[in-house]
Structure 1
Amino acid sequence: MTRNPNDAAVDARAAELAAMSEEVLADLGIGIMAYVRKLHPKDMESLFPEVPPLQDNVTLWALLNADGTPILLADSREAAVANAFEHDLEMVSLH
């Protein structure tokens, strides 16, 4: 089997990341990367404590920093994504 020349670089980067502390890993991407998450009313209090209680059938979208801190609460996914692009944040997908 032939080894891809990029494999060594990938292995080196993986070793570098594995050696990082949790604090350093948590700080990667802050202010650079963000993600959008669908929120239900029960999730609001932990991320947005200033939001008054909402009806159970309301769905809102949160734009969150790479470390999970809230940036914005929006009524549509499109509005949250647009805000990320306005602030030059790289969007990442979570699964």
Structure 2
Amino acid sequence: MTRDPNDPAAIVREQEIAAMSEEVLASLGAGIVAYVREVQAKDLAKYFPEAPPTQDTTVLWALLNADGTPILVADSREAALANAFEHDLEMVSLH
């Protein structure tokens, strides 16, 4: 869908979005939108700094807030998705 270059409302929306700070943009969807990401156990500390260090090759699944803030780690994608469902989080695809 293309934008009408003469639509004043569309122009204002684009200007407002362009003027948003990174912090405001990152906070959009916080507590509402989440995504699941595959995480190697050895990389767990990147998402969960309080996690004990491990060199394990186990695949885990992290549920992350829209801004990337970690919510939980699970041993299956289904468990992470179930937790998101329990907390009424809207899931989005990560590309």
1:82 aligns to what?
82
Give me the whole-angstrom Cα distance separating, in 2, the residues matched to 1:55 and 1:83: 26
Cα offset, 1:10, TM superposition: 5.3
Q: Helix, strand or coil for the counterpart of 2:61?
A: strand
2:39 aligns to what?
39
Describe the shift of the 1:53–1:11 C-alpha distance in structure 2 as closer, same or farther (beyond 3 A): same
| Structure 2 segments unaligned to the other structure (5+ residues) | none
1:64 aligns to what?
64
Give me the whole-angstrom Cα distance separating, in 2, the residues matched to 1:48 and 1:14: 35
Identity %: 69
Measured on the aligned residues, the alpha-carbon RMSD in Å equals 2.2
Amino acid at match of 2:88: D
Describe the shift of the 1:82–1:14 C-alpha distance in structure 2 as closer, same or farther (beyond 3 A): farther
State the number of aligned residues: 92
1:13 aligns to what?
13
Describe the shift of the 1:10–1:79 C-alpha distance in structure 2 as closer, same or farther (beyond 3 A): farther
Q: What TM-score do the two structures reach when normalised by structure 2?
A: 0.80
Cα offset, 1:12, TM superposition: 4.5
Give me the whole-angstrom Cα distance separating, in 1, the residues matched to 2:61 and 2:17: 31
Describe the shift of the 1:82–1:11 C-alpha distance in structure 2 as closer, same or farther (beyond 3 A): farther
1:50 aligns to what?
50
| Structure 1 segments unaligned to the other structure (5+ residues) | none
1:93 aligns to what?
93
Q: What TM-score do the two structures reach when normalised by structure 1?
A: 0.80
The runs of at least 4 aligned residues of structure 1 exceeding 4 Å deviation read 8-12
